A and B are shown apart, each in its own frame.
Chain A
């Protein structure tokens, strides 16, 4: 059943996905037979330590990497290449085109993808830039903005596309703690207003609990699904474990490490 009941079945389905990539010397297995499903209007978080393949998984959903095994489908059709129905928001500040103003950056996304043109593109860009609170900075170039503002522009650009799903790859990880908190609050506020579907990658447990309604825990080397937990947006007693959600998550993540440590002894 869909989370909001508006449509039947999940939006994004990942079945038995194994992802591998080659470095100069080795074939690295990033994830091994990962299953998960994202429903419409989910705030779905991929959480795990570094090396659990969460970013690689997100890139596969983005269509940048083809799975060596398994399938990823969005609204029933298989993902084979990048496309404007899945918009990526990155951590890096250079995701904005430095030669375009804030307004032009958003318009670029709309026109390059053939979503909208001319006046309609300008109007929609203005609407979403205002939504993230940057209406006064439409004519500014990215290098004159702070890190938080750049992240806002990237989010505005993603939302303006009105995609099926927004893919966020640790978008706030490079921000200072105060800005990050504000950005998290604002993202939730934006979600309340438009109920977009978002797949969010993070390695921060508090961020996962605060932003996600579903949290997928991945264990590292290679990434496998450890658990999927619901979150009410606050750190509460979790029914399954009887402990606080954050403790439950940490225990699950560390248990894996302890076993690995024992095995290596």
Chain B
């Protein structure tokens, strides 16, 4: 048996181990930038594209990256690609906004009454699986050739997923938070707006993203079928026209535009909203 002495240090020196935080190396810091990683992936894909198409050497089937970029540039300068993109976007925004507004009305009704809940359940299970394009013939009969037909199918494609997500989010709000809201006198609509809406925001944001993607797809597809309906036509019609003229590089340029807008909205609009809300609040990692 060794005798062990009790001891108490009067002061605890940290010594050399006192460096609590060491700055990361340049490489580690660069790798931590999400956008940089994304750019690297895109560059790799672009390189693969260029190499493959150079080897294939068939501009009709699969134009090279530089031919596509050239067509993209020419499209913007002369072919009115930006005007086409705007034509698509302006219709899209109208449909998206109305779809979201209706979705929230439905979700709020579902939260405030039992019959509203049944209404949402029934309607979403009926209409959510119905492809928006399938409604286009009906839309043309009802609204004629024009932007309003497109807006109608857009509303259909946005409304159900957004309403479903919002409702799921509302229902997942903890009982404690609801009780806190009621404790301070909130009831009905004020409870929904001041407690449920922000508390369910991660889920609502996910719904808005899904709704956006659905709307974008629906619109491009609808324009390809009935694109000439909306004035000068949108991006879908641009792609379709150029396919008919066997301008494959222009088809790719149109697709590139669709992708660029999608990336921009995802990273800029939704990315910023996410950083300012759910991440800042610690509701999403």
CB pair A88–B280 under 8 Å, yes or no, is no
Interface residues on chain A, size class: 20 to 34
CB pair B282–A143 under 8 Å, yes or no, is yes
CB pair A141–B194 under 8 Å, yes or no, is no
For residue A9, CB closer than 8 A to chain B, the reply is no
B226 to chain A, nearest CB (A): 43
Residues of chain A contacted by B184 (CB below 8 angstroms): 84, 108-109, 112-113, 161
Considering only residues 78-132 of chain A, those with a C-beta below 8 Å from chain B are: 82-84, 86-88, 90, 92, 94-95, 97-99, 108-109, 112-114
Residues of chain B contacted by A86 (CB below 8 angstroms): 183
Most central of B181, B182, B199 by chain A CB within 10 Å: B182
B59 to chain A, nearest CB (A): 53
CB pair A94–B185 under 8 Å, yes or no, is no
A155 to chain B, nearest CB (A): 13
Residues of chain A contacted by B179 (CB below 8 angstroms): 62, 64, 82, 88, 90
For residue A144, CB closer than 8 A to chain B, the reply is yes
Residues of chain A contacted by B7 (CB below 8 angstroms): none
A161 to chain B, nearest CB (A): 8
For residue B85, CB closer than 8 A to chain A, the reply is no
Query: What 1/0 mask marks residues of chain B from 157 to 196 whose CB sits below 8 Å from any chain A CB?
Result: 0000000000000000010110111111110001000110
For residue A142, CB closer than 8 A to chain B, the reply is yes
Q: Which residue of B lies closest to A90 (CB)?
A: B176
Instruction: From A64, A90, A97, A143, give the contact of B195 (CB < 8 A).
Output: A97
For residue B281, CB closer than 8 A to chain A, the reply is yes
Instruction: From B174, B176, B183, B198, give the contact of A87 (CB < 8 A).
Output: B183
For residue B143, CB closer than 8 A to chain A, the reply is no
- Give Cα distance in the complex from A99 to B277, angstroms: 7
For residue B283, CB closer than 8 A to chain A, the reply is yes
For residue B270, CB closer than 8 A to chain A, the reply is no
Given contacts A99-B201, A99-B277, contact A94 B174 (CB under 8 A): yes
Instruction: From A94, A114, A142, give the contact of B176 (CB < 8 A).
Output: A94
Task: Give the number of residue pairs across the A-B interface with Cβ within 8 Å.
Answer: 65
A112 to chain B, nearest CB (A): 4
Interface residues in B, total, Cβ within 8 A: 22
Query: What 1/0 mask marks residues of chain A from 202 to 227 whose CB sits below 8 Å from any chain B CB?
Result: 00000000000000000000000000
CB pair B199–A97 under 8 Å, yes or no, is yes
Query: What 1/0 mask marks residues of chain A from 140 to 160 whose CB sits below 8 Å from any chain B CB?
Result: 011110000000000000000
CB pair A114–B180 under 8 Å, yes or no, is no
CB pair B183–A84 under 8 Å, yes or no, is yes
- Give Cα distance in the complex from A100 to B201, angstroms: 13
B280 to chain A, nearest CB (A): 7
CB pair B174–A113 under 8 Å, yes or no, is no
Residues of chain A contacted by B183 (CB below 8 angstroms): 62, 82-84, 86-88
Residues of chain A contacted by B277 (CB below 8 angstroms): 99
CB pair B180–A95 under 8 Å, yes or no, is yes
Most central of B180, B194, B281 by chain A CB within 10 Å: B180
Most central of B179, B195, B201, B277 by chain A CB within 10 Å: B179
- Give Cα distance in the complex from A99 to B196, angstroms: 11
Instruction: From B176, B181, B198, B281, give the contact of A141 (CB < 8 A).
Output: B281
- Give Cα distance in the complex from A95 to B174, angstroms: 9
Instruction: From B185, B186, B194, B283, give the contact of A98 (CB < 8 A).
Output: B283
Residues of chain B contacted by A87 (CB below 8 angstroms): 183
- Give Cα distance in the complex from A62 to B179, angstroms: 9
- Give Cα distance in the complex from A113 to B183, angstroms: 8
CB pair A92–B282 under 8 Å, yes or no, is no
Q: Which residue of A lies closest to B198 (CB)?
A: A99
Residues of chain A contacted by B174 (CB below 8 angstroms): 92, 94
Q: Which residue of B lies closest to A110 (CB)?
A: B184
- Give Cα distance in the complex from A84 to B177, angstroms: 15
CB pair B282–A97 under 8 Å, yes or no, is no
Query: What 1/0 mask marks residues of chain A from 38 to 81 whose CB sits below 8 Å from any chain B CB?
Result: 00000000000000000000000010100000000000000000
Considering only residues 217-265 of chain B, those with a C-beta below 8 Å from chain A are: none
Most central of A94, A99, A161 by chain B CB within 10 Å: A99
- Give Cα distance in the complex from A88 to B186, angstroms: 14
Residues of chain A contacted by B177 (CB below 8 angstroms): 94-95, 97
Most central of A92, A112, A114, A141 by chain B CB within 10 Å: A112
Given contacts A94-B177, A144-B282, contact A112 B198 (CB under 8 A): no
Task: List 11 additional A-B contacts (Cβ < 8 Å) besides A88-B180, A112-B185.
Answer: A82-B179, A82-B183, A82-B185, A88-B179, A97-B177, A97-B199, A98-B282, A99-B198, A99-B277, A112-B184, A141-B282
Q: Which 7 A-B pairs have the closest CB atoms?
A: A143-B282, A112-B184, A113-B184, A82-B182, A99-B198, A92-B176, A113-B185
Measuring CB to CB, which residues of chain B are less than 8 angstroms from any residue of chain A?
174, 176-177, 179-186, 190, 194-195, 198-199, 201, 277, 280-283
User: What are 19 A-B contacts defined by CB distance under 8 Å?
Assistant: A64-B182, A88-B180, A88-B183, A92-B174, A95-B177, A95-B180, A97-B195, A97-B198, A98-B282, A99-B281, A99-B283, A109-B184, A112-B181, A112-B185, A112-B186, A112-B190, A113-B184, A141-B282, A143-B282
